Amino acid sequence: MNELLISHYVLKTKVLGPYERSAIWVSGCCFDCDGCIAKEMNNQEATRIDVTSLVKVFTDANTEGITISGGEPFLQARALTGLVQNIRKNRDYGVIVYTGFDYKELLQTDDKDRKDFLREIDILIDGKYIKDKDDGLPYRGSSNQKIRLLTKRYKEEYNSYYMSGDKRNIEINVEPNHIYMVGVPSEYGLKTWRELKKRAEINGQ
């Protein structure tokens, strides 16, 4: 296995898919969506991390699965496939991925690494963020992005979790030297987060 370039990860969250799950944000994106909330994160210095160590971290976290976001996960498809396949050697593990690529585009790709990664995914939320189509619906940034069940794993949860929520939720994670926002924020949530972050920076976090 090799390395991943990441912004950060959290061991447990409840706002990025059904059940308590881990989440990781890879660093770097090939798109440039106007209004992208990950831009600041992608411009910060990334962490290079050994995939083997992440396999242990996420296996030990004992969550139902992981949500992978970014940045653009398909730019690091090979390492992410390694991550997921190796966690799955030890446990039954659900995988949700946010990507700026369209699903159709991914289905037609000749890139073996991307094809392999696509096969590991239970739910794909695809498409670039389009500011004018940001309708405030939960779990995605804009209405062109679709929540796609690629396997049967979350069939039951699709309606109860994804279709019943009517608002966006975020969590704020405070660590000794950093604070992170987790989830897809509403306009109000984003504003609140930016104010909190500004205050934290003033206080040296």
19 touching ligand SF4, by CB under 6 A:
no
Closer residue to ligand SF4 (CB): 93 or 117: 117
128 touching ligand SF4, by CB under 6 A:
yes
DSSP label of 45: P
Stretch that binds ligand SF4, among 70-78, 160-168, 173-181, 183-191 (CB under 6 A): 70-78
129 touching ligand SF4, by CB under 6 A:
yes
- Going by C-alpha positions, the residue among 120, 124, 125 that lies closest to residue 88 is 120
Size of the site for ligand SF4 (CB under 6 A): 12
36 touching ligand SF4, by CB under 6 A:
yes
- Per CB under 6 A, the list member of 16, 46, 72, 180 interacting with ligand SF4 is 72
Closer residue to ligand SF4 (CB): 81 or 99: 99
SS3 label, residue 71: coil
Q: Which two tokens stand for residue 153?
A: 């794993």
29 touching ligand SF4, by CB under 6 A:
yes
CB 28 within 8 A of CB 5: yes
Closer residue to ligand SF4 (CB): 63 or 99: 99
- Going by C-alpha positions, the residue among 105, 19, 110 that lies closest to residue 64 is 19
Minimum CB–partner distance for residue 40 and ligand SF4 (Å): 10
CB 16 within 8 A of CB 69: yes
Closer residue to ligand SF4 (CB): 156 or 187: 187
Q: Which two tokens stand for residue 180?
A: 């992170």
Kindly provide the b/e burial profile for residues 3-32, where b requires at least 16 CB atoms within 10 angstroms of the residue's own CB: ebbbbbbbeebebbbbeebbbbbbbebeee
Give the CA count within 13 Å in the CB-facing half-sphere of 138: 18
Minimum CB–partner distance for residue 35 and ligand SF4 (Å): 8
Stretch that binds ligand SF4, among 31-39, 79-87, 110-118, 185-193 (CB under 6 A): 31-39
100 touching ligand SF4, by CB under 6 A:
yes
CB 5 within 8 A of CB 27: yes
User: Where on the chain is the footprint of ligand SF4 (CB under 6 A)?
Assistant: 29, 31-33, 36, 38, 70-72, 100, 128-129
